Chain A
Amino acid sequence: MKNFSKLIYPYVIWMTIMIIVPMLMIVLYAITVRGNDVLTLQFTLGNFLRFFEDSIFPSVLWRSLKMAFFTTIICIAVGYPAAFVMAKMKPNNAAMCVLLVTLPMWINMLVRTYAWRGILTRISLSSEINVYIGMVYNFLPFMILQIYTSLSKIDPNLIIASHDLGANDRETFLRVILPLSLSGVVSGITLVFLPAVSSFFIPKLLGGGQYVLIGNLIEEYFISTGDWNFGAAISLIMAIIILISMYVTRKLDKETPEAND
C-alpha cells in the first residue's frame, strides 16, 4: 500500500505550478511598487494602505460580504425545505429531483446568467435585487445537494427510535434530524458563500454596472486600469478574508456531530 502514496505526486506538481506559484506572484505584486523589473524590486505596503485609506474600497468589501452572507441565508432558507422534502421521497423520485436540480448546471453559468439579464431588463427591479436573484439562482443547487446528501445519510432507525421514545415530529426534527444534517449545511455554506463573495460576472451582467462588488474591482484594476499591484493587493485582502471565513466554518463543522461517524 505504501507505494500508492506516490500517486499523489502528479497532483502535488500540478498544485505547485497552478496554485502555489500564482499565489506567490500575487503576494509579490501586492507588496511591490508599480513598474518594477526583477532586478530592482521595491517593496511597499502602499497598496494595502491605499485600500484602507479611502472609505470606498472597504465599503465595497463590506457590501460584497453582506451580499454573500444574505445570499447564503436565502439559499439555506429555500434549500433546506427542498432538500428535506427530497430526502423523504421514494428513491426513484428523489433521484429524479436530484437530476432536476443539477440539470441547469449542464448549461454554462454565463449563458444562464445572460438569459436572466434578458428577463430582468424587462421587469424593472432595483439592480441590487437583480444581483440577488442571479446569485441565489446560480448557487442554490450547491446548497440543496449538500443538505440533501447529509439528510439522506441519516439512519431511519434513529428517527423511529426518537418517536419510540416519545418525541413528536417537531422534537424529532429539532433534536435529531437538524443536528445530524448540520454538516451538510456547513459544507453548503462553504460552497455558496465563497463563490458568492468573489463573483464578478453576476453583478456585472445583472447589476447594470451600478452594483460594484469586490470581484469587479479586482477585474477593473487588472484589466482596465492595468494596475496589477493594487489589483493583487485587493485579491490578497479578499483571500485573507476567505481564509478566515473558511476557518470559522471549519470550526462550526467540527462542533457538529457527524451523521455516520
Chain B
Amino acid sequence: MSWSKIIKVTTAISLLFPLVGCTGGEKEVEEAGDAKELFGCNVINIYNAGEYIDESVVPNFEKMYNAKVNYDTFESNEMMYTKLLGGNSYDVLVPSDYMIEQLMQEGLLQKLDQSAMTNKGMLDPFVIEMQKVFDPELEYAMPYFWGNVGLVYNKENVSEDDLKTQGWDILKNEKYKGRIYFYDSQRDGFMIAFKALGYSMNTDNTEEIQAAYQWLREMNETMEPAYVTDEVIDEMVNGSKDIAVMYSGDATYVMSENEDLGWYAPEQGTNLWIDAMVIPKNATCPGLANAFINYAISEDVQVKNTEFVAYTPVLTKVIEDMGGEDGDFSEISSFIPRTEYEKDEVFHYNPELKRQLSDLWNKVKIN
C-alpha cells in the first residue's frame, strides 16, 4: 500500500523545507471569476488517488476562482467507495473505469455539465473510445489518466526472446524463480491468468475461472513470487528483482529512474484502464466541480500532472509532445501504451465475479 508513499512524501517535504523561500517566480494564474458569484458556493471536496496531481494545480485553481479546495487522497478504488458509502460528501472523484460503471449503476453519480467542458475537444479519440466502454453516452465521466498493464524487466538478466515467446507465461518460467514481483490484487492477478490462457478477462465461465485459478496456483507454488502493490515502484528502481507486473504509468516512472529496465506488454493481450473524474449525486458545489474538471483537462494542467505523475495524459497534443522526440518521455516505451489491439480489454463491473475471484485470489496466496 502506500506506506512507501507516506515515507516518500514526508522525506520530500522535509527536503523541500529549506528551499521554500527560493521558489516562486511562477507565472501568475489568470483569474476566471469569483466562484461565489458564478456558482453560489466556493468550496469543493476532491478525492483522488495518492500522488496523482502536480502540487501547483489545486492552489492555482483556488486563485483562479477565489475558492477553497479540500483535497484528499485514497489508496484504492474500493477504499474510495467505502468512504463514499460511509456518507462522506465529495464534489469530484477520480476512480477507475469499472468503479465508475458501478457508481453509475448504483445511481450515485450526476451528469457533467457538458457546456462547461470547453477543453474536451482536445481529448484523444482512443481515450474517448475507451470511455464509451463504461460510459456509452459520455455523460458522466471526464478522462484523467490512462494506460495498460505489462511487465517491467531487467534488460541484463531477462532474455527478450523469453518475453516475446512466452508473454505472461514468463511468470511461470522457473529460470526466474524467486525474482518476480506480482501485483497483489485479484483483478490484475486473474487478468494475467485469463490472458495467458487466451480467455477474455471479463469471462464468467466457471471452467475458465477454474483454469485461471490453477494457472495462478502453479505460478505461486513454483515461482515464489512476492506480492506487492505500490512498494514495487521503489523496489524496481533499486533493482531488487528482475520482473514485475506493473501499470504502464508506474513503469514509465521506474524506467526514467533506472536505465537497466525495459517494458513489455504481452501479445496475449492485457488490461487497458482509464481513470476519470466524476461528480457524485450528493456534491455540494457541482458548478465549481465542473469548472475544476474542465481545468484539469486543460493543456497546461495535463502537462504539469504528466511531468509529476508520469502517467499517460488524455490530450492527443500532450501525449505527442511529451512522448515525441524532444519530450520528457521520448525514450520510454511504456509512455504511449498500445492502442487498437483487439486482445486488450477494459474491465467491466461484475459484483458476483469480483466476489468469487477475491476468494480464489486469497486461496492462491494462502497455499
Contact = CB atoms under 8 A, between A and B. Distances in A.
Given A114-B3, A225-B78, A209 B365 contact: yes
B110 interface: no
Interface stretch (B161-169, B222-230, B295-303): B222-230
Interface stretch (B246-254, B281-289, B354-362): B354-362
B228 A225 contact: no
Interface string B112-140: 00000000000000000000000000000
Interface in A102-117: 110-111, 114, 117
B76 A59 contact: no
B362 A56 contact: yes
A60 B7 contact: no
B226 A217 contact: no
B224 A223 contact: no
Contact of A56 (B82, B227, B354, B366): B366
A172 to B, nearest CB: 48
Nearest to B183: A209
Interface in B227-258: 227-228, 231, 235, 240
A111 B78 contact: no
Contacts of B366: 56, 59-60, 212
B228 A224 contact: no
B106 to A, nearest CB: 11
Interface residues of A, number: 26
Contacts of B79: 223
Interface in B1-23: 1, 3-4, 6-7
A223 B78 contact: yes
Given A209-B228, A210-B224, A224-B78, A110 B358 contact: no
A209 B226 contact: yes
A195 to B, nearest CB: 18
B208 interface: no
B52 interface: no
Nearest to A217: B362
Contacts of A201: 3
A98 B127 CA distance: 61
Contacts of B225: 210
B3 A224 contact: no
Q: Is the interface of A mostly helix, strand, loop or mixed?
A: helix
Given A114-B3, A209-B365, A225 B358 contact: yes
A204 B355 CA distance: 21
Interface in A31-90: 54, 56, 59-60
Contact of A212 (B81, B240, B359, B362): B362
B185 interface: yes
A224 B226 contact: no
B294 interface: no
Given A114-B3, A114-B7, A208-B227, A226 B362 contact: no
A110 B182 CA distance: 23
A222 B182 CA distance: 22
B365 A224 contact: no
B310 to A, nearest CB: 23
A171 interface: no
Interface of A: 54, 56, 59-60, 110-111, 114, 117, 121, 124, 201, 204-205, 208-210, 212, 217, 220-227
Interface of B: 1, 3-4, 6-7, 76, 78-79, 81-82, 178, 182, 184-186, 224-228, 231, 235, 240, 354-355, 358-359, 362-363, 365-367
Given A209-B182, A222-B82, A225-B358, 6 more contacts: A56-B363, A210-B365, A212-B366, A224-B76, A224-B78, A225-B186
8 closest A-B pairs by CB = A209-B227, A208-B226, A225-B358, A209-B184, A212-B366, A56-B366, A56-B363, A212-B365
